[in-house]
Structure 1
């Protein structure tokens, strides 16, 4: 299945892209599977999306977790936590 991926703020800067796509095998998966596929690219992908880093996830424009399901055509977005005042 094909998943559309978007990156925002410092993640976009670290990876040098604002959007990409990931192919996942099978008919079902979750945002953690998307992360694993991205990390498998190595280099900056492993560093920017490291497990110890803090970032937020959205699936199909709704706040989500890495356990949230994705399906063919889903949009998964990753972005750093936002602070403000």
Structure 2
């Protein structure tokens, strides 16, 4: 089964990439965030540059904080954001 995932970029990532979102095809069910990101970085030099320069990027899948080993399904929403501090 193939489908798409919606990707959102927040804060400095959004500013550096010059976009706040994109929709990308997902070629396999159960693909990890890391696997999907690896493919995207191979095909998008700007994305690769920004992610390489930003340590400890966080990810949420369907509005729940997750890890890069989280499985992604068609129709899921991924959100990437830099580390945040609170107070």
The structural deviation recorded for 1:45 is 0.8
Which residues of structure 1 form unaligned runs of 5+? none
Counterpart of 1:70? 72
Counterpart of 2:47? 45
RMSD (Å) for aligned C-alpha atoms: 1.6
Which residues of structure 2 form unaligned runs of 5+? none
**What whole-Å deviation, never above 9, does each CA across 1:6-64 have from its counterpart, x for those lacking one?**
00000001111111011121222111122113202232111112287221000000000
Counterpart of 2:33? 31
Q: Distance in 1 between matches of 2:78 and 2:59?
A: 7
Counterpart of 1:81? 83
Q: Distance in 2 between matches of 1:26 and 1:38?
A: 14
Whichever structure has more helix as a proportion of its residues is 2
DSSP-derived class of the 1:27 partner: coil
Normalised TM-score (structure 1): 0.88
